[in-house]
Structure 1
Amino acid sequence: MDVKELRGLSVEDLQGKLAGFREELFNLRFQHATAQLENTARLPQVKKTIARIFTLLKEKGKE
């Protein structure tokens, strides 16, 4: 997801997205461990998106 899209979301929506991306990361790691993962570039993308969400939650918490 793009940062511009994430900035427009509320805290509750960000937490929902965070849960979804964490679940996706778990599934990607599981697929990678069992040699079923086809798009290995997706792992770092999801990790960076999770980090972006954490950053935005921290920013919104300070407001």
Structure 2
Amino acid sequence: MKSKQRLSDIKAMTEDQLNDEVLKLKKEQFNLRFQRATGQLENTARVRVIRRDIARAKTIAAQKSTEK
């Protein structure tokens, strides 16, 4: 299981990489939601970590797009 991403790692990404990362995280979030609904989710804290990683990546992406 991957732990939350470091802010410095996210800031080093390009906008395209950030968009890909958000997409990947949303897929993982969907899978976690599905596991929770079927009672198979073991690490419930992971849902919160993923949600915050998505917000973090979107925030940095928005900052990078306004810097142009």
For residues 31 and 7 of structure 1, the distance between their equivalents in structure 2, rounded to whole angstroms, comes to 30
Q: Aligned residues: percent identity?
A: 37
Q: TM-score, normalised by structure 2?
A: 0.90
- Report the RMSD for the aligned CA atoms in angstroms: 0.4
Any gaps of 5 or more consecutive residues in structure 1?
none
Any gaps of 5 or more consecutive residues in structure 2?
none
Q: TM-score, normalised by structure 1?
A: 0.97
List 4+ stretches of structure 1 deviating above 2 A.
none
Q: Which residue of 2 aligns with 1:43?
A: 47
Aligned length: 63
